[in-house]
A and B are shown apart, each in its own frame.
Chain A
């Protein structure tokens, strides 16, 4: 498998505070990576650094073999931010309009959403089961439906990688299970590489094949199965915690 996202000794500072320190890893095509860590561990910062939203203090990131600063194929990467953390809640956008925004990464100046694009958006909405919501405002939908719309926005450019920032925060257990199963299908059937930030290190083991655990620095990156047999991790997390994390994976 080829490495498509590679971090080489990256550090990120907010002012004088070092949020990420010398982190290195390589994510291969087809991986489903659970990105975990405690509050303030730097998970969102790491994702923002991968997406070029935050400057690196040291190190470099390669996306599809190209230095991130020169990378232009953003349609290859779909991003689903922490639910509504960055979205303008008063914005009067319909579901159809929100999904179409995902296509802007494939457009050159002047960016236009064409009839073909709208057709593509409708097909995707049908696939996600939100066709009836097409003309509704995003704010009128339930948490699960909103999440599907944002997933649709991330999927419409047919990305090779999907990056999620705590997608299950506002979902009830049933919606959460359905959402993760959908991600598993995208990973296994369409071969989309997934990086997913989560607090629930145990639960993500049910779906992810790799764990990237950070606490401002890299604690573990590798297969879940190897994590569960790793003695160093047993001493880091404690036997009980390691067992809880591995319980659902096994």
Chain B
């Protein structure tokens, strides 16, 4: 009975809709990122989001409207720094990440007023998600899913063997840029759910869970999506009934799934 009541709350319904969409795109993109050793780009871009959200709050603009374009720009900047400045990708992520965090903290210091709002983005709260945010999440998730669907084999080939992919006419640079931009959008969407501090976990954990169990890339995509979806559904439910922070609960369930997958692989 309590479960039925729980599902009737509109804030729970909104949380499930946004959570499920974000879970699916995080798991799909995460698999490509993990296999390309780009896992920490999620972390770096979430730090940029922090700065961008601070900028939005500083100028009184809805934070996501500032965060989405700025984080996309930051993702391109990461690629350009590693290409043009002959800096390794992880160092480029570090540079852009530092700009985001320090910019956010400076703006928070200058504002003297929105610290509480800004710091609520550090840990997220999917239960407080608004209708506008659900619609925005749905639209952007559909765009990300469509891009993955249409470029699935290009992404697959360029991730498996980039050099060979180029010899089959695949524009690897375009595919790399596309993946980074899609990641930027996904990171911004995920911040409402788990916050700046835990975004990269949503990208990494379902992927590493899937890689423990999968036999084939398509299977890996499905296992990753299932683990991600379940952790969001269970995370929202547990956090409601046990009065726990939602984002951290979702991430801890993802960790449990990874532990189980790892143990299963070792036993079998």
Name A's B-contacting residues (CB within 8 A): 51-53, 72, 74-75, 77, 79, 81, 86-88, 90-94, 96-98, 101-102, 104-105, 107, 109-113, 135, 137, 153, 157
Contacts and interface: CB of A to CB of B under 8 A. Distances in A.
Given A104-B157, A110-B150, A92 B164 contact: no
B164 A86 contact: yes
B151 A110 contact: yes
Given A86-B163, A88-B161, A94 B215 contact: yes
Contact of B159 (A91, A94, A96, A104): A91
B216 A97 contact: yes
B168 A92 contact: no
Contacts of B161: 81, 86-88, 101
Contact of B157 (A53, A79, A101): A101
Nearest to B162: A86
Interface residues of B, number: 31
A79 B167 contact: yes
A93 B152 CA distance: 14
Query: Which of B164, B166, B170, B210 has the most chain A CB within a 10 Å cutoff?
Result: B164
A201 B88 CA distance: 38
B264 to A, nearest CB: 15
Given A81-B161, A86-B161, A101 B168 contact: yes
B168 A105 contact: yes
Nearest to B151: A110
B100 to A, nearest CB: 29
Contact of B35 (A77, A88, A96): A88
B148 to A, nearest CB: 11
B35 A109 contact: no
A53 B153 CA distance: 20
Nearest to A110: B150
Given A90-B35, A97-B216, A110-B151, A74 B167 contact: yes
B169 A74 contact: yes
A72 B220 CA distance: 32
Contact of B169 (A72, A87, A90, A153): A72
A101 B169 contact: no
> Lowest 6 CB-CB distances: which A-B pairs, in order?
A105-B168, A86-B163, A110-B150, A94-B216, A111-B153, A74-B169
12 contacts: A74-B169, A81-B164, A86-B163, A88-B161, A90-B35, A92-B217, A93-B216, A97-B216, A101-B153, A105-B167, A111-B153, A137-B216
Given A88-B35, A94-B216, A98-B160, A51 B167 contact: yes
